[in-house]
Amino acid sequence: MNEFGYSGILKRRVLVVDDEEINRDMLGNILKDQYEVDFAENGKQAHEMLHARMTRYSLVLLDLLMPEMDGFELLGLIRTEEVTSNIPVIVMTSEKPAEVRSIKQGADDFITKPYDMPEVILARCERIIQLYEDKSIIRSAEKDELTDLYTREFFHEYIRQIDRNCSDLSMDAIVLNIEHFHMLNEMFGRQMGDNVLRKVAGMLSDMLADGVGIGCRPDSDYFYYYIEHRDSYDEVFATLSKELSGISKIPGVRIRLGVYQNVDKDISIEDRFDHAKYACDRIRGDYNRQIFFYNREENEKDLYHEQLINDIDAAIANKDLVVFYQPKYGIQCDEPELRSAEALIRWRHPKYGMISPGDFIPLFESNGLIQKLDHFVWEEAALQIRKWKDEFGCTIPVSVNVSRVDIYDSELENRLLKILKDNSLDAKDLMLEITESAYADDARGLTAVVESLQGRGFKIEMDDFGSGYSSLNMLTEIPIDVLKMDMKFIRNMNKDAKSHKLVELVIEIADYLGVPVVAEGVEDKNQVDQLKDMGCELIQGYYFSKPVPPEEFDKFIRAEIEKGKNTK
């Protein structure tokens, strides 16, 4: 290995072009130990040799004054023809003006005649070859061969240069994806897919070339662009979509754009394009939106939700999820009496602290994970009922939620019966709350499930009665045991006569059906007194207590026991 990093075994091929035999011999003797040397007597012969199929030259040593085709003409051809444009050329001359002209025409160096310093000639040849080979390696690593866009590493480096040199310029990060691109390859072959990629890359580069900008293809069907800010990308998108639809007749193949406008240059380049890609992927499969702009608040919300989804199993295992209990009191007596409780889930997250159920319950309902929460609550509530029985010698029935996904689970009944058996409880101890939305999904299926559960002794409560459109119809078809009035009725009860009458009407309906009503969200004594006068049997709300952990709920049981002692 010599000082330039070349192995002595591998010899580069050099072409010496000179019409003087003595000059060819002299250069051959200087170069032969280090290179394979070919010779041409004039420019025409050299041109033919440079285009020979099996020959690849690493360097041309070119005399300028020759017959048939001189060195200047050959140099011009070498630099303009694709097959030879990347071959370095060292001009051999003794004329100073010719040196300047040859350098301007694309020569890389010159050697002065006569050849009296062989070591200088070798050093110059080796240096020029090394520079060109390094440049070739960089060129191949710099660009994606298919689309001529930059590869990721060089893309990032040029962005850093843009940021340094155009620090006051507002820039956008764009991520474009061809959705279902694989279908093109599968149905029409890889050549069609490659043509589409080249077409999209070329069109996008042309359309975004008005200002400062640079492009990259980091993955097969993704394109990244870092360009000078623009307010709208509608025209760009419309043109690209029209072009793509003309190439591909597959309806599912479409373009999505994610845009992070006015990027924060204080964050990493990776983060900027992560934001744009998040925006792009956010509308995957959404055929109503094909351009989406990154929004920090939405992104943080999605990341927060993703974190909660990932943490649910650990939360159950570590008991970060905690079941709170809110008491229900009977009011059709001289003094309110504790009758039962509702189990309500809370999350003490190690990172976010106490999380509102409004943050995670709708999230888990939308992706099916609510079933894990429900099962956890059922088991915890059963354990707590058993504990209260053992400690206080009395039964406090607890209502638990049964989500839509649970209702149509074929193992629902077996799971509930096993929980009762494991804790030596009766079916009446664990009351089941369902919502009318489940009825809207499958009225007949829900009725069958409810009747089967009631046959096992479970009490069924209709939760949030009046919150939807099917409540009255549901009452005529499903044999419920308790009706829970939606808290918005109570909240609006004293706003006007119409709202007050609606509460009376709900209580009258329940009385007609022979089922008790639970009024949720009761907060003051005036509401309690009015509901009692209307005939409402049970009340739940902050007037008595907010939802509390089991150890705090114990005080309500003790108070009830003491009350019983005092009446004896």
- Residue ranges per domain, the chain? 13-142, 152-294, 305-566
The reported pLDDT for the residue numbered 433 is 94
Reply yes or no on whether the pLDDT at 22 is more than 50. yes
Reply yes or no on whether the pLDDT at 251 is more than 70. no
Reply yes or no on whether the pLDDT at 249 is more than 70. no
Q: Are 59 and 130 in contact (CB under 8 A)?
A: no
The reported pLDDT for the residue numbered 498 is 86
Average pLDDT over residues 341-368: 91
The reported pLDDT for the residue numbered 326 is 97
Which residues does residue 293 pair with via DSSP β-bridges, in sequence order? 259
* Tokens encoding 385: 């009922």
Average pLDDT over residues 25-33: 92
- What's the pTM? 0.61
SS3 state at 152? helix
The reported pLDDT for the residue numbered 267 is 92
Classify the C-alpha dihedral 162-168-169-171 as positive or negative. Answer: positive
Helix axes 118-142, 152-165, angle to 10 degrees: 100
Topology agreement, domain 13-142 and domain 305-566: no
The reported pLDDT for the residue numbered 438 is 66
Chain mean pLDDT for the chain: 86
SS3 state at 400? strand
The reported pLDDT for the residue numbered 210 is 73
Minimum mean pLDDT range among 443-447, 541-545, 551-555, 559-563: 443-447
Reply yes or no on whether the pLDDT at 116 is more than 90. no
Which CATH number does 152-294 carry?
3.30.70.270
Average pLDDT over residues 442-463: 88
Homologous superfamily assigned to 305-566: EAL domain (3.20.20.450)
Reply yes or no on whether the pLDDT at 427 is more than 90. yes
- Find, among 232, 238, 230, 196, the residue nearest to 213 by Cα: 230
Q: Is 478 exposed, middle or buried (0-12, 13-18, 19+ CB in 10 A)?
A: buried
Instruction: Label residue 420 by pLDDT band (50, 70, 90).
Output: very high
Reply yes or no on whether the pLDDT at 48 is more than 50. yes
Q: Is 408 exposed, middle or buried (0-12, 13-18, 19+ CB in 10 A)?
A: middle
* 231 contacts: CB under 8 Å, gap ≥ 6: none
Classify the C-alpha dihedral 374-379-382-383 as positive or negative. Answer: negative
Which CATH number does 13-142 carry?
3.40.50.2300
> What percent of the chain stands above pLDDT 70?
92
Between residues 49 and 494, which one has the greater pLDDT? 49
Between residues 477 and 538, which one has the greater pLDDT? 538
Alpha carbons 268 and 190: distance in angstroms, whole number: 35
Q: Summarize pLDDT for 50-106 with one digit per residue, the tens.
A: 988 667 888 999 999 898 899 999 999 999 998 888 899 999 887 777 888 888 888
- Find, among 426, 478, 421, the residue nearest to 456 by Cα: 426
Top-confidence range, 9-23, 116-130, 385-399: 385-399
Q: Are 59 and 14 in contact (CB under 8 A)?
A: yes
Please count the residues of the chain.
568
The reported pLDDT for the residue numbered 102 is 86
Instruction: Label residue 161 by pLDDT band (50, 70, 90).
Output: confident
Instruction: Label residue 12 by pLDDT band (50, 70, 90).
Output: confident
Reply yes or no on whether the pLDDT at 2 is more than 50. no
The residue to which tokens 């070798």 are assigned: 122
The reported pLDDT for the residue numbered 566 is 56
Q: Summarize pLDDT for 491-549 with one digit per residue, the tens.
A: 888 888 888 898 998 899 889 889 999 999 999 999 999 999 999 999 999 999 999 99
Q: Are 126 and 33 in contact (CB under 8 A)?
A: no
Q: Summarize pLDDT for 174-210 with one digit per residue, the tens.
A: 999 988 888 777 777 888 888 888 888 888 878 776 7
* 74 contacts: CB under 8 Å, gap ≥ 6: 17, 43, 46, 47, 62
The reported pLDDT for the residue numbered 436 is 65
Q: Are 398 and 342 in contact (CB under 8 A)?
A: yes
Alpha carbons 241 and 321: distance in angstroms, whole number: 48
